[in-house]
Amino acid sequence: MTDGTAPFLLHPGDPGSPVILHVPHASRVIPADVRAGIVLDDRALEAELDHITDAWTDRIAAAAAVAARVRPWRFVNRLSRLVVDPERFPDEREEMLAVGMGAVYTRTTHREVLRPADADPRPLIERYFHPYAEAMTAAVAERLDAVGRAVVVDVHSYPARALPYELHGDGPRPPVCLGTDAFHTSGPLLDAARRAFAGFGGTEPDTPFAGAYVPLRYYGRDARVGALMVEIRRDLYLDERGAPRDAAVGALGRALAGLVDRLPL
């Protein structure tokens, strides 16, 4: 999919790169028919998008792709996570279902109603969640075929102050949180990330957000697939009004490129 309306895009990297920068939460775009299923008025929806969107993480990833010695691939969600959240489990395994934030959210970050509780999530899962998961799986498969391994680096950001929906919001909120997975995040991969982001005031693993995204086909079974989640605290690069500070966006992009360049072979 390469047209302007594609729900997600895979930006090609170097044929020899194992790295996929995955950007799932940067977009605010909600198709009109999906918008019609959300009960918030326009002002409340804009406020919710301000809270939930990982603003400008697509730009940070793009800056990293330009700065890296070997260009990584980039898989970018063009739709808001209020359409579907591609990183949730689409079923009862998802712990966020407890707060109405499984793959199709029914609650806001402030635990208010986003969609009617009896709204059927299946049409959105079929139309958006599964195609996204299949394309991401194919992108990983392609890296495995081409270079024998794949490393998914998830690029997120998170608010300086905990939002009511967070299940683990009482933990430390470091400048850069590094989400790990016991099977897919090697010690050297985590070390490379710690060093790459050392200049921003400190990193901590798995607080306040834990885990890393791996397509289910490979999850917990294929050690050739590495994964790490980078969660950048938003006050590092946004001003009080939510506008990006260009120098900080650039510096974070270069740090992410540094991680790509340091990835252990």
Report the interface residues with Zn ion, using CB under 5 A: 25, 54, 156
176-179/73-77 β-pairing: unpaired
Angstrom distance (rounded) from CA 219 to CA 144: 14
Helical segments of 41-129, H only: 42-52, 57-67, 122-124
CB of 247 to Zn ion, least distance (A): 23
What single string gives the DSSP state of each residue in 58-116? Answer: HHHHHHHHHHSSSPPEEEEE-S-TTT--TTS-SSTT-GGGGGTBSSSB-B-TTS-BSS-
CB of 156 to Zn ion, least distance (A): 3
- Measured from the CB atom, is 158 or 218 closer to Zn ion? 158
Angstrom distance (rounded) from CA 247 to CA 177: 20
CB of 61 to Zn ion, least distance (A): 12
CB of 25 to Zn ion, least distance (A): 4
- Measured from the CB atom, is 54 or 143 closer to Zn ion? 54
- Measured from the CB atom, is 54 or 181 closer to Zn ion? 54
Angstrom distance (rounded) from CA 247 to CA 226: 30
CB of 240 to Zn ion, least distance (A): 21
- Measured from the CB atom, is 71 or 173 closer to Zn ion? 173
- Measured from the CB atom, is 143 or 156 closer to Zn ion? 156
Pick from 224, 234, 230: which is nearest to 256 by CA?
Answer: 230
